[in-house]
Amino acid sequence: MGLRKVAVVGAGMTKFVRRAQETGRELAYEAAKMALDSCELTLDDVDAVALGTAPDAFDAVHMKGEYLSDGAGAWRKPFMRSYVGGGTGVFAPIQGWYHVASGLFDVCLVVCEEKMSSCQPHPQGAFLTIFDHTTERPLGPNLLWIFALEMNRYMQTYGLQKKDIALVSVKNKRNAADHPCALLGDPNITVEDVLNSEVLAWPVQRLDVSPVTDGAVAVVLAAENVAKRITDKPVWIKGVGWSLDTAYWTNRDLYYPKYVEYAARMAYEMAGIREPRKEIHVVEPYDPFDYKELHHLEGLLLADKGEAPRLTAEGVTARTGNMPVCPSGGLLGVGNPIAAAGLMKVAEIFWQLRGEAGKRQVPGKPITGLAQAWGDLMQVGTVIILGIGG
């Protein structure tokens, strides 16, 4: 398409923890510093900063992007904060991509931060305010309830059992045991543990859900000519896509995330990918709930509708399988600081493609990977495809 080529050249992340002692600005600073150090750049080399962070209600800071700006390295620099709810973590690097691909900037620092623990007693309270003020909020809905609806619909449509879905949680939490930044890695967890965990809103149980987390992640993007000077191993952004469905979620059939498919098709087209199941070698779909990983694999066209559970049961999505899914441990294992969790997935693909994922490294020298996030009212899909070579 003749687009300017943009590469990821560095990445950094803080530990994902339940209750960080650092302020949000400090978390943003730590991740940004690590990302810049990883490619031996300093703030002087950064032309613009793109920031992602999800609801301001978590930390009760109005204009949270402005508050985080100097921590994220934006002092006296062009700075913007993008926002698509839970999809923000994968959108922020898309925002960084259009900054660099526009030709106006050579190096863009992308920072995502989230501090959910400030919200007491529990960030679910903040989520009450995402619902329509007239038609839904008076009912006092809870995020777990609507995801329970969606999970139930998914299970009903394809005749799935809870144990089919619990496998995802087990896989991801076991994968996370190898991630140095993970909050909930567990090498010994079993399907029974998930099935015996507390029921929150049937069919959602505690171990089906990712934890409340604090953390920050940053990546450095650079234009082609600059990227090749910075590193021998640039990881190219091959395609990006995003799509937002209607606000009237009660009018949608929740069994299938069409918006994820639209976002994926946009990204595949940009990347020139015709057969995603053959051409994508490692996948980080958004997994705040275990069924979402399955849902999203289908939306990404990486599994036939209703077939993702079978792929999981057969080990295809294991770290050593034919199509490793969430080798990082995902949100279920590493943690879910909303915006930072999405960018963690992009960073994971970056490390996997460079062969730098340590104990999490998938075999077979992958050359193309995909990260995806999801959010708003079960409504937005954000997709980014990374690749080496070419």
Partner 1 sequence: MPREVAIIGVGYSGFRALTPEVSYKELMYEAAVKAYEDAGVDPRRDIESFVTVAEDFTEGTSIFDEYVPDQLGAVLKPVHTISGEGLHGFIAAYLQILTGAMDIVAVEAHSKASNILTPDEIMAFAMDPVYNRPLQVNPHFIAGLEMNRYLCETGTTREQCALVVAKNKHNALYNPLAAYGANIAIEDVLQSEIVSYPLSRLDMSPRADGAIVMVLAARERAEELSDIPIWIRGVGWCNDSFSLENRDWMNAIYAAKAGETAYRMAGIRTPWQELDFAEIDDTFSYKELQHMEALRLCRPGEAGMLTEDGATEIGGDFPVNPSGGSLGMGHLLDASGLARLLEVVLQLRGEAGQHQLPDVEAGLAFAWRGLPTTSGAAVILCN
Q: How far is the CB of 69 from partner 1 (least distance, A)?
A: 5
Q: Cβ of 4: how many Cβ atoms within 10 Å? A: 12
| Interface residues toward partner 1, by CB under 8 A | 1-4, 23, 54-57, 59-67, 69-70, 74-85, 91, 95, 97-99, 101-104, 126-127, 129-130, 132-133, 241-248, 258-259, 262-263, 266, 270, 375-377, 379-380
Vertex 234: Cα angle to 230 and 236 (nearest 5)? 135
354/10 Cα distance (integer angstroms):
11
Q: How far is the CB of 56 from partner 1 (least distance, A)?
A: 5
Q: Which long-range contacts (CB under 8 A, 24 or more apart) does 352-360 make?
A: 352/282, 352/327, 353/235, 353/282, 353/386, 353/387, 353/388, 354/233, 354/235, 354/388, 357/327, 357/328, 358/178, 358/180, 359/178, 360/175, 360/178, 360/179, 360/319, 360/327, 360/328, 360/329
What's the Cα-to-Cα distance from 234 to each of 31, 89, 120, 164, 371, rounded to whole Å? 19, 21, 42, 38, 17
Put residue 22 in one of left, alpha, beta given phi > 0 → left and psi -120 to 50 → alpha.
beta
Q: How far is the CB of 116 from partner 1 (least distance, A)?
A: 13
209/19 Cα distance (integer angstroms):
18
Measured from the CB atom, the residue of 76 and 274 that comes closer to partner 1 is: 76
Measured from the CB atom, the residue of 104 and 313 that comes closer to partner 1 is: 104
Measured from the CB atom, the residue of 45 and 70 that comes closer to partner 1 is: 70
Q: How far is the CB of 361 from partner 1 (least distance, A)?
A: 32
H/E element, 48: strand 48-52
Measured from the CB atom, the residue of 4 and 359 that comes closer to partner 1 is: 4
Measured from the CB atom, the residue of 14 and 379 that comes closer to partner 1 is: 379
Measured from the CB atom, the residue of 66 and 356 that comes closer to partner 1 is: 66
Q: How far is the CB of 288 from partner 1 (least distance, A)?
A: 14
Q: How far is the CB of 17 from partner 1 (least distance, A)?
A: 19
Q: How far is the CB of 50 from partner 1 (least distance, A)?
A: 10
Measured from the CB atom, the residue of 143 and 160 that comes closer to partner 1 is: 143
